[in-house]
Amino acid sequence: MKVARALVAAALIGLMTVTPLSAVLEPGRHETRFPAMGDIAALPVVLHDGTGLVSGIGLAMQAMEDGVRNPAGNQRLLVVSWLGGACDRSVSLVFEPSEAGYRLAKRTNRAGGCILMGIGRAVVLRLRTPIDAATVRFVSAGR
């Protein structure tokens, strides 16, 4: 009996080290992080999924224009790209249904007093069901 309890405890601890705590406490919340680049701090990105259709988030190849696309026509993936900066401290994405399809709003928190430099950023949303990127309206909801 003690061995079984120990195995269950070890499995739970292993699961907790692999799964971010926020994913357990808030199922519609997904997180990723751009690594630091020299003097530019790491950039956390949090997605709040109000659709229930996102299964995960990760980093994607950079793109230089703001928008949403299906890479190579794969409608189970949405690549979200934007031009960020060296002052960015965190990014919040909110994905929710809208009358015309979906709305993806981006809000960036910035620090003051740093150099102005454009940095292409992109994340990929893994979807539980196909979504055509043309049905997603991308908006920058302030800074």
What is the structure's pLDDT at 115? 73
Which of 106, 105, 102 is CA-nearest to residue 131?
Answer: 102
- Dump pLDDT digits (tens) for 81-116: 999 988 999 999 999 999 999 999 999 998 877 777
- Dump pLDDT digits (tens) for 17-75: 444 454 455 679 999 999 999 988 999 999 999 999 999 999 998 776 899 999 999 99
Q: Write out the H or E segment, with its range, that includes residue 79.
A: strand 77-85
Beta bridge partners of 106: 93, 140
What is the structure's pLDDT at 16? 46
pLDDT at 136 over 80: yes
The size of the chain, in residues, is 143
What is the structure's pLDDT at 51? 97
Query: Which pTM value belongs to this model?
Result: 0.79
- Dump pLDDT digits (tens) for 4-24: 555 445 544 544 444 445 445
CA atoms within a 13 Å half-sphere pointing along the CA-CB vector of 114: 13
What is the structure's pLDDT at 138? 97
For 105, left (φ over 0), alpha (ψ -120 to 50), or beta?
Answer: beta
Q: Alpha-carbon torsion 57, 59, 61, 67, what sign?
A: positive
Q: Which residue has the tokens 């740093």?
A: 114
Q: Backbone phi, then psi, for 25, in 5-degree steps?
A: -80, -30
What is the structure's pLDDT at 25? 53
Structure token digits, residue 133: 């990127």
What is the structure's pLDDT at 77? 97
Percent of the chain with pLDDT over 90: 62
**What gap in Å lies between CA 40 and CA 38, rounded to an integer?**
5
Cβ neighbors of 44 (< 8 A, separation 6 or more) are: 31, 32, 33, 90, 91
